A and B are shown apart, each in its own frame.
Chain A
Amino acid sequence: MAVSRRLQKELRDLQTQGTPIGIVLLQADDFQTWKLSIEVLGNTLYQGEKFALRFQFDSSYPITPPAVTFVADGEYNAPMHPHVYSNGHICASILGNEWSPVLTVAAVCITLQSMLASCKVSCSPPDDQRYVLHAPADPRKVRSVRNVLWTLQLMHTPDPLGFPWSVYLSRGVVYPNLTLSLFDCRLQTTSTPAASKPCPMLTLSQCIIP
């Protein structure tokens, strides 16, 4: 109820005031999933290309961020971008821990537009293949993984399984048998301790949340 009211307003605004330049509303039949096409205007790497974004909202939107991915279904492809995986998942802070409820669909679109516009190298993220193999459907779950990775790396915490994080960050390696729930769980345990404290060692069985 609450969701749809806010989304209703956003939808009406998009319809009355129009979408930002380069953004077109493709589908907004309900208040669960919307699709918008996005073009990067001007002289950029993505000139002449058209992508599509899928927004998925849950009932606590806008308190929680929407799940936003590029559509990669054959008709549309995800852009080649260091923060965009080939399955369409996006690594952008505003969709994760930098989310704010005052952000709107239009604002997210503009941010992603400028993310693409400012891109200098057209390449996939280094861990793309691994990631795509193990990524969950909901990209919001993944962000916490990457956040953990980044947090741990910044904290210089030793790797729970004994390898330095830097190794697989640079090489794009992820433990194949490590599930994402492990990382979600790690987020809880690692976000509190001071930077100096080593991260407690966790075994696989401890980490996997049913």
Chain B
Amino acid sequence: MSRYMTEPEPEHIATLIHVLVRWHRAWAPIQEMGPTVMGTFTITYQTHVFSILPPEFSKGFKELIAYTFQVTSPDTCPDWLTKLFPCQGKSPRPDLGLWMTFDELGLTERYESLILSVCYERIETHITETCSKVWDQQMLQPMRSWMSDVIIPWLITPYAREARTADEAAILMRSVGSRLDYHVCKTFADLRTNELFDIIIDFPDSKPALEDLKDCLQRVDQRSHLVQSLRKSNRRRLLHPGADTKLILTQYVSIIRCLRIVDPQGVLLFKVADPIRRYLRDRPDTIRCIVASLVGDGESGDSLVDENEPIQPLQQAQFDDYTDHKWEPEPIDAGPEFRTNKPSDIISTLISIYDSQELFVKELQVLLAQRLLAIKDGNFDRERRNIEILKIRFGEAALQVCEVMLKDMTDSKRTDQHIQAQKRSDMHPTVISRHFWPPLQTNTFVMPGQFRQIQEDYAREFSLFKPDKKLVWMSHLGSINLELELDDRTVGAEVPPLEAAFIELTSRVDEWTVAELIAKIGSIERPAALKALTTWVELGVLKEDTPDRYRLLKVAEAANSNSKASGKQPTAAVDELPPVQTVQQQQAEQMRVFWKFIEGMLKNLGQLPLDRIQQMLKFAPDYNRNIDQLAAFMEAARREGLVAVNNGMWKLQK
């Protein structure tokens, strides 16, 4: 033993065992004294031996067993083994003698768990080595085959060497075989569970891995472990401020798809999805992301929705159908709040993150407005198609507003054709129905000079064509394609109306201050004015001589070579989306009204918890926000430094 401890080689343990068995045989009473005496001796001997074996023995013994895996044929068998434990007769396995010795000494019985743990470890090592990160093929079956090809034959020696036929061997092996199979599944399930987050990222390439996991879970109960583990990885890797909402949604959709494979009944999904859904609900841009993917947002690449998935009406909360013949009881680990998700489509699932569809429709309206107003070539087929598809989901009634918006587009085109036929104009307006478009940011200004003339002419023609109606210009919206003829060059540009207004003014007077320009146009913000002027500066048309003072460059300045003076390219200035107020902005705007109430409340009462504020606000006229919305608002107010929160108590920031 001490030799083993200084030099941990299985050979030394084997030698020790060899010594033990020699003593055992030497001291054994003669056969004639009968089995009782024999048994007594064996017990006494074993008790004695086991009591003096040091704890390190089991480790060594284990290593010795593990070592026998290598000695599958006489060629691989070291000399010392056959020398110490010679096998009688011809054995396919050179370690047979060793095992028989174990039996003789009662070691097999005493250290059975050790023997199995050797197998377990081998299984674990093998599975980890061969299956880790291999998700594109099913690995469970190969692992099981490996077990029957490698582990089971090895086990025959310790467990079933007396068997004369294969059937007998099978019977002897049954219990240990099933334990090992369980262990294969468990090891496999553990591995895949730990890898699950990445497997989901890899979906659909990782589908085989998920199928494996499904099979494993039927064999071993690792479901709650899976839920815990995946929830943990989601929390750590997904649900944090650094992750893009779009990414979270994509991963959520993949989780849905993946867990449906693993657990078609949806209990796992229900449990895993809950925190994600909650988290998404608190993100301000979730709805926008979902809506953008609903309408197939061009730039954001892959859509969340599978193109092949049939478009269905949104599914409302389902009630149990008592006449359903295919009904199956809910799985045992389904919680009380679990609702069977009859395979509903992904979009329904996403939209059900929220309690009402209303917000989606609003966001959709904003998105649609932005797109429609940006259309210059009058082609909005894509938008029409999108709305048609969405109508199937949300129902006609919900999208009535969008219908009106589309009709405005068609009507504008038709009206324009008529008006152009009467009196040609360079203007092609989109005439919208108010109350049906999302609030458009208003900073209507007066277009100067020829622009105003064109507006008036067009409006007059419009009123002739539609005698009951008149036009109200939203001068700040739209875009104008201009050509400027300067002394030495011609500059073409497509610009927003404000830019056009400014350049029209400079065509009359060369030099302006920003204040003068603003006074002339009216009701615009200084930053907007500066931005418009910058456009022209970049095009080399205007120059800021002294701060705040702009001059028309009738002759191009050489220094301005980097601005493509004769460039006919339209600037990027109009590529921005039209200034439609987002739903969020609208809500914040409305919420501002209540700030006075909150401020007064906190001033008078010091500090208050959120629910008290909510309660008291209910007395304010027209207050219809829920506590979540209030919380979001308070949070925004905190960021602006208006309030502070401590232990859930809100107070005014001094």
Contacts and interface: CB of A to CB of B under 8 A. Distances in A.
Do A's and B's CB atoms come within 8 Å in the complex?
Answer: yes
Interface of A: 15-18
Contacts of B624: 15
Contacts of B621: 15-18
Nearest to A17: B621
Interface string B420-448: 00000000000000000000000000000
Contacts of B622: 15-16
B12 to A, nearest CB: 87
A17 to B, nearest CB: 8
Interface residues of B, number: 3
Interface string B618-654: 0001101000000000000000000000000000000
Interface of B is mostly: loop
Closest 7 CB pairs of A and B: A16-B622, A15-B622, A18-B621, A16-B621, A15-B621, A17-B621, A15-B624
Nearest to A19: B621
Nearest to A1: B397
Interface in B145-193: none
7 contacts: A15-B621, A15-B622, A15-B624, A16-B621, A16-B622, A17-B621, A18-B621
A15 B622 CA distance: 5
Contacts of A17: 621
Interface string B598-622: 0000000000000000000000011
A15 B623 CA distance: 8
A15 B620 CA distance: 10
A20 B622 CA distance: 15
B99 to A, nearest CB: 82
Nearest to A12: B622
A16 B622 CA distance: 4
Nearest to A13: B622
A98 to B, nearest CB: 31
A136 to B, nearest CB: 37
A104 to B, nearest CB: 17
Interface in B555-574: none
A16 B621 CA distance: 5
Interface in B489-521: none
A17 B621 CA distance: 7
A143 B196 CA distance: 75
Nearest to B624: A15
B22 to A, nearest CB: 95
A17 B622 CA distance: 8
A37 B622 CA distance: 19
A21 to B, nearest CB: 14
A182 to B, nearest CB: 44
B358 to A, nearest CB: 14
Contacts of A15: 621-622, 624
Contacts of A18: 621
A18 B623 CA distance: 12
B150 to A, nearest CB: 72
A2 B621 CA distance: 26
Nearest to A16: B622
Nearest to B623: A15
Nearest to B397: A1
Nearest to A18: B621
A18 B622 CA distance: 8
